[in-house]
Amino acid sequence: LLQGHGPDLPALFQTRAKSWAQAVANEVHQARSEGLPVMLLGFSLGGGLAVTAASLSNPDKLVLLAPLYWEETWPVTLAGNALSVFLPHTFAPFGSRFIPLETFREPIRQISPDVQFDDPQVQASIRRQRLPMLLFEQVNLAVRLARDSAASIRMPVLVIQGKQDPIIRPERTQQLVKRLGPNVDYVEIPGEHQIVQPDGPGFAELVERVERFLAQ
């Protein structure tokens, strides 16, 4: 239900990462006004946004599931800013030879349930699909915001990561864990990126870990 997501998907490329994080923070403030304990839980991009939102709204507990994160050194940032004027305005997120197309099956199914994913022509079309570079810029900004916000987190945090995740690799999540406040519990479970799927190998452990964290 964030701006540019779900039913508002046509407006995706007119929205910004800061507004996404602020919208989540506003929801936490609204929940707090009802006088109940509030836990903020985020998965993937939502995990990165949850770190920033938690720094703005201070929920009672924070759960991050395979949170979107990577480190960026200043030479890389400087080079990226300098080269940005030469980069194309669009990019093909599904066209990489290094990421199996199967990785995107479930996310695409959630967006378009009727897509015949196993059809070779459909797969070729997905490979050719291009998105505005603005989307990548906002995702990168979301990661920067999370990185800048992590040290201010003071509530208890549970981080759960899939051991075989090819998109958000465990070593990246471990980098975020080092930046978070002192009250962090880090757990790796079997599974790739979609650890939130009930048929995943580590889903039962994920549920058990989250329930135990809430009960503490």
pLDDT tens digits for 34-86?
Answer: 998 999 999 999 999 999 999 999 999 999 999 999 986 545 444 445 445 45
Q: Specify whether the CB–CB gap between 168 and 141 falls below 8 A.
A: no
Q: Specify whether the CB–CB gap between 189 and 195 falls below 8 A.
A: yes
What was the pLDDT predicted at 88? 54
Q: Inform me whether the pLDDT recorded for 12 exceeds 80.
A: no
What was the pLDDT predicted at 76? 45
Q: CA–CA distance from 187 to each of 16, 23, 32, 60, 205 (Å)?
A: 31, 28, 28, 20, 10
Q: Which segments of 33-180 does DSSP mark as H helices, in order?
A: 45-57, 74-83, 105-111, 120-128, 133-149, 170-179
pLDDT tens digits for 106-150?
Answer: 767 666 678 888 888 888 887 877 665 556 677 888 899 999 999
What was the pLDDT predicted at 36? 87
Query: Considering the entire predicted model, what is its pTM?
Result: 0.75
Cβ density class 113-145: b for 16+ within 10 Å, e for less: eeeeeeeeeebeebeeeeeeeebeebebbbbeb
Confidence of residue 8 (pLDDT cuts 50, 70, 90): low
Using CA atoms, how far apart are residues 80 and 84, in angstroms rounded to an integer? Answer: 6
Give 96 or 89, the one with higher predicted confidence: 96
Question: Strand pairing of 90-91 and 131-132?
Answer: antiparallel
Q: Specify whether the CB–CB gap between 122 and 115 falls below 8 A.
A: yes
